[in-house]
Structure 1
Amino acid sequence: MNNIEELFENFLNCVEYLQKALNVSFGEALTETFDNLENNQIKVELGAPDKATVEKLSQKYKKLNYDKLSQQLKVQVYTYLILKAVNEDALDINQMPTPPIVATIVAMFMQKLLPDKKITIADPAIGTGNLLFSVINQLKHANHSKMNYHLLGIDNDEEMLSFADIGAHLNGLDIELYCQDALTPWLFTNPDVVVADLPIGYYPIDENANNFATKAEKGHSFAHLLFIEQIIKNLKAGSYAFLVVPKAILTGKGGSDFMPWLSDKVFLRAIIELPDNVFQNKTNQKSILVFQNHGNNVQNSEVLLTKLDSLKKEEDLIKLNVNLNEWYTKNIH
């Protein structure tokens, strides 16, 4: 058993023990476990957990040697446990953490396109926070650990926000989190950049959907289309959005309806079709969409279109980076 597997089993044992003691969901026990470990104190409310459980938990926590674990290991174990929470608690497929390789590609484009100054980055579908935190860590690494980013996140699910809150703490990042429907007016002013893995599916509140041009003519509207419209409304003039979106809205019949509207509202910069094997469910295949809002004398350019057959080899990312550099030199710089 290697180190990460052993660590995972030890942490899992702690979470499941607390879950049974408190009679709560796996996700609730997970966030409380890490909250206890981060604060070096076991939280007791209304006598729960009882003294015997607290004593047993203390013994289990000591065996973890939590304070001696690296930040990277803590984040890795926490991410694996979130995946288990998604399965154990039968959470929505949209609440699955974004694959790390997708964050790497998003960070690659952000590093090239964003200015080297303090900017506000918002994720209006933050979920567990995996995408945003992974992107920011890579940008910091490329920028000599310089933290140029003020982070904001929205989700309408309090459990997801709890996951994101713990995740931010483990990654050493400060973030302002807002519990709200992201398709209602945002509770903060226009961000400089939006990063998001958009939820796929139908938006149930038809009355609110009627406020959007991308609403369906009949029945419920697609949440991911409404999200894109909402992002455009809230994004600063001339600023960028880096979105993980359903591939179907960019191609085929879906694309023929949506893309002309989108092309009229923003300047498309890049569409990166991700390999089929990145996502478990073939009906949920995704692409990365990069666009820039109109304004601030921003001009149109050629769109970088590319399809990635695989992301398992380092040369695949190197090839993408070469294409990005060539496109940037020709169109942006």
Structure 2
Amino acid sequence: MYKIENIFNSFLDCVQCLQKALNVSFGDALTETFDNLENGQIKVELGAPDKETVKQLSQKYAKLNYDKLSNNTKLQIFTYLTLKAVTEDDLDANQMPTPPAISTIIAMFVQKLVPKEKLVIADPAIGTGNLLFSVIQQLKSANHSKTNFELYGIDNDEEMLSLADIAAHLNNIDIEMFCQDALTPWLFKSPNVVISDLPVGYYPIDKNAANFATKSENGHSFAHLLFIEQIIKNLQEGGFAFLVVPKAILSGKGGSDFMPWLTEKVFLRAIVELPDSAFQNKFNQKAILILQNHGKNIGNSEVFLTKLDSFKNEDDLIKLNVKLNEWYTKNIN
């Protein structure tokens, strides 16, 4: 950890030096830093950064020994710096990277439920790409679909997409990304898998929300409900969605209208409640919602329901896998 901390601080020094010289956000400076390092030269536009800064950066970059660092180390440092960018740039809570344990759980379900064939996978709220890329790496390790993936991502924030682009490169993942409102028509083929940590809150464009069945009758509509409806509209027949959603929409007052609507539109396969301790208060608590679109020769099944007590205890994930295998054998296989 001491070595990683030293490397991190050296990278941080480079990012802050460039940030000051260009007068840009931390996230923009982070993207530019890794672009410079990957390309082996310092990008200069309209005289910025100036010659003195270029000289300083050249010396700092040389001390990093970037080409000798393992890809895993580069990715680890970039992930830590991305977390810092969220804090430094005062980004929205929705833009925080998804905890790694969640990607492990989703990868577990994808391997069980999704056919091992070429997959078209989309994340309509990709952010930094942390969730999608982590799941894909785990599927590759398991040789699921023989690593044959066609990937797409959407985000309406250019800074997030720039960070996702660097992360994709470091992960050696090919993906096409679109800067757009994900609640407008998607600009790529219908996916058979959607993996996403959905943004939580109100959607400000009431005129567009009026096109959705899940719109609110009064005031702004909930973005996460509109996202789920948009995902269902775009999923291929029989396609799966693995979504991180607010737990409140699944039961009680929050789910009284939504859940009956949802169960008419799709087959509900699983709900995994995430540990309470992972969230600051009960209003922020989340769950993984897994659904399958209607399609030929596809029927309903008993819904897999469980709650995790902790992300820190590996035994909990092992127990989850055992339960998943039992449920799969009984209901799916």
- For Structure 1 versus Structure 2, the TM-score category normalised by the shorter chain is over 0.9
After TM superposition, give the deviation of residue 284 of structure 1 in Å: 1.4
The residue that corresponds to 2:165 in the other structure is 165
Q: Secondary structure at the match of 2:150?
A: strand
Decide whether aligned partners of structure 1 residues 130 and 28 sit closer, same or farther in structure 2, where only a CA change above 3 A counts.
same
The residue that corresponds to 1:300 in the other structure is 300
Contact 2:248 2:283 in 1 (8 A): no
> What are the Cα deviations for residues 227-263 of structure 1, in whole angstroms up to 9, with x where unaligned?
0000000000001000000011012111122111100
The residue that corresponds to 2:322 in the other structure is 322
1:55-66 matched pairs, under 5 angstroms: 55-66=55-66
Rounded to whole Å, the distance in 2 between the matches of 1:149 and 1:13 is 37
Contact 1:99 1:278 in 2 (8 A): no
The residue that corresponds to 1:190 in the other structure is 190
Rounded to whole Å, the distance in 2 between the matches of 1:278 and 1:327 is 26
Contact 1:194 1:241 in 2 (8 A): yes
> What are the Cα deviations for residues 37-72 of structure 1, in whole angstroms up to 9, with x where unaligned?
111111110111111111110110111111111111
Decide whether aligned partners of structure 1 residues 101 and 211 sit closer, same or farther in structure 2, where only a CA change above 3 A counts.
same
Question: Bigger shift: 42-51 or 218-227?
Answer: 42-51
Amino acid at match of 1:37: L
1:17-36 matched pairs, under 5 angstroms: 17-36=17-36
Contact 1:121 1:150 in 2 (8 A): yes
Rounded to whole Å, the distance in 2 between the matches of 1:40 and 1:10 is 17
* Structure 1 consecutive aligned stretches of length 4 or more whose deviation exceeds 4 Å: none
1:53-92 matched pairs, under 5 angstroms: 53-92=53-92
The residue that corresponds to 2:225 in the other structure is 225
* Identical pairs, percent: 76
Rounded to whole Å, the distance in 2 between the matches of 1:332 and 1:122 is 24
Question: Bigger shift: 279-288 or 292-301?
Answer: 279-288
Amino acid at match of 2:222: F
Contact 2:249 2:255 in 1 (8 A): yes
1:102-181 matched pairs, under 5 angstroms: 102-143=102-143, 146-181=146-181
Amino acid at match of 2:232: I
Count matched residues.
333
> What are the Cα deviations for residues 14-57 of structure 1, in whole angstroms up to 9, with x where unaligned?
00000001111111100000111111111110111111111110
Contact 2:118 2:145 in 1 (8 A): no
Q: Secondary structure at the match of 1:289?
A: strand
After TM superposition, give the deviation of residue 296 of structure 1 in Å: 2.2
Contact 1:190 1:234 in 2 (8 A): yes
Contact 1:123 1:154 in 2 (8 A): yes
The residue that corresponds to 2:331 in the other structure is 331
Contact 1:125 1:196 in 2 (8 A): yes
1:38-57 matched pairs, under 5 angstroms: 38-57=38-57
The residue that corresponds to 1:288 in the other structure is 288
Amino acid at match of 1:204: P
The residue that corresponds to 2:4 in the other structure is 4
> What are the Cα deviations for residues 122-181 of structure 1, in whole angstroms up to 9, with x where unaligned?
000000000000000011111189422111000011111101101100101010000110
Q: Secondary structure at the match of 1:120?
A: strand
Decide whether aligned partners of structure 1 residues 281 and 4 sit closer, same or farther in structure 2, where only a CA change above 3 A counts.
farther
> What are the Cα deviations for residues 170-195 of structure 1, in whole angstroms up to 9, with x where unaligned?
10101000011000010112111000
Rounded to whole Å, the distance in 2 between the matches of 1:144 and 1:327 is 20
Q: Secondary structure at the match of 1:152?
A: strand
Amino acid at match of 2:62: K
Question: Bigger shift: 80-89 or 202-211?
Answer: 80-89
Structure 1 alignment gaps of length 5 or more: none
Question: Bigger shift: 272-281 or 53-62?
Answer: 272-281
| Superposed CA RMSD | 1.2
Amino acid at match of 1:180: Q
After TM superposition, give the deviation of residue 279 of structure 1 in Å: 2.9
Q: Secondary structure at the match of 2:141?
A: helix
Decide whether aligned partners of structure 1 residues 144 and 274 sit closer, same or farther in structure 2, where only a CA change above 3 A counts.
closer
Structure 2 alignment gaps of length 5 or more: none
Rounded to whole Å, the distance in 2 between the matches of 1:3 and 1:148 is 36
The residue that corresponds to 2:97 in the other structure is 97
Rounded to whole Å, the distance in 2 between the matches of 1:248 and 1:314 is 26
Q: Secondary structure at the match of 1:74?
A: helix
Q: TM-score scaled to structure 1, two decimals?
A: 0.98
The residue that corresponds to 1:262 in the other structure is 262
Rounded to whole Å, the distance in 2 between the matches of 1:289 and 1:122 is 16
Amino acid at match of 1:61: Y
Q: Secondary structure at the match of 1:268?
A: strand
Q: Secondary structure at the match of 1:168?
A: helix
Rounded to whole Å, the distance in 2 between the matches of 1:205 and 1:318 is 43
After TM superposition, give the deviation of residue 280 of structure 1 in Å: 3.9
